[in-house]
Amino acid sequence: MTRFQSSPHSERPRERLLRHGADVLTSAELLAIILRTGIPGCDAVNLGRRLLEHFEGLRGLLSADARTLMQIPGLGVAKTCELLAINELNRRALEEDLRSGQALNQPERVKQFCTARLGHLHIEHCIALYLDSQLQLIACEEVSRGTLAQASVYPREIIKAALGHHAAALILAHNHPSGLAEPSQADLALTRHLKQALALVDVRLLDHLIVIASGAVSLAERGEMGI
């Protein structure tokens, strides 16, 4: 009998990963490697499947907060921390890409980063990505946090932060908890106002992203950045 055959079912994904590579494993199997153990009557692979079904996919699972995860049977402190760590490592990897390359040359990575940062939130948040003259990321900071329907963004504070970071440009992003990515009239008005205000201090507003759980919409790509 081979080692693979004699291994517990929850350990088999590890064997397959080492033999064939991670890309041949299902998402449930990859989760089983992270979770390591299941719960009574449910091995790690089936626990992974249950989690994917409960959260309607990987994006929902990996963007869930600690309190939500801890309410799931089978997810204690250790497993919850492991899942939270995966999401944070993914966000930091995307941020490293933005720090090492021009943001405008990788718009999809910018969208991925903002989606990882904002897409799962149930309250509207707004962030600014401050860029240097080479369009590399200097800093990403939250500039407002609002209710389910509205966030207050103060251009004066954004300008102050941009000058403090010696930024040459920035990208604004905020989420729509409603799940509708269509920009509102208030979004368009804010974009125009902020773009004009930043121009007075020689800082460019390159884009404004509207973020939902499934991705982000770029106002620059839609030609809706205003004058």
Query: Which sequence spans correspond to the domains of the chain?
Result: 3-89, 102-218
Give the per-residue pLDDT at 2.
35
Query: 2 or 128, which is more confident?
Result: 128
Tell how far CA 218 is from the center of its chain. 15
Q: Mean pLDDT, to the nearest integer, of 153-171?
A: 94
User: Residue 150 — pLDDT band, cuts 50, 70, 90?
Assistant: low
Give the pTM.
0.72
**Domain 3-89, CATH 3.40.50 — does that match?**
no
Residue 62 has pLDDT above 50, yes or no: yes
Nearest 10 degrees: CA dihedral of 81, 108, 138, 141? Answer: -60
Give the per-residue pLDDT at 3.
37
| Residue pLDDT, tens place only, 66-87 | 888 999 988 889 999 999 998 8
| Residue pLDDT, tens place only, 42-58 | 888 999 999 999 988 88
pLDDT averaged over the chain?
86
The secondary structure of 38-97 as a DSSP string is -BTTB-HHHHHHHHHHHTTSHHHHHT--HHHHHTSTT--HHHHHHHHHHHHHHHHHHHHH
Residue 5 has pLDDT above 60, yes or no: no
- Percentage of the chain beyond pLDDT 70 is 90
Give the per-residue pLDDT at 7.
42
Give the per-residue pLDDT at 102.
65
Nearest to 153 by CA among 175, 181, 131: 175
What 3-state class would DSSP assign to 2? coil
Q: Mean pLDDT, to the nearest integer, of 141-160?
A: 84
Q: State the pairing for strand pair 169-175/204-212.
A: parallel
| Residue pLDDT, tens place only, 181-198 | 999 999 999 999 999 999
Give the per-residue pLDDT at 146.
84
Superfamily of domain 102-218 in the CATH hierarchy: Cytidine Deaminase, domain 2 (3.40.140.10)
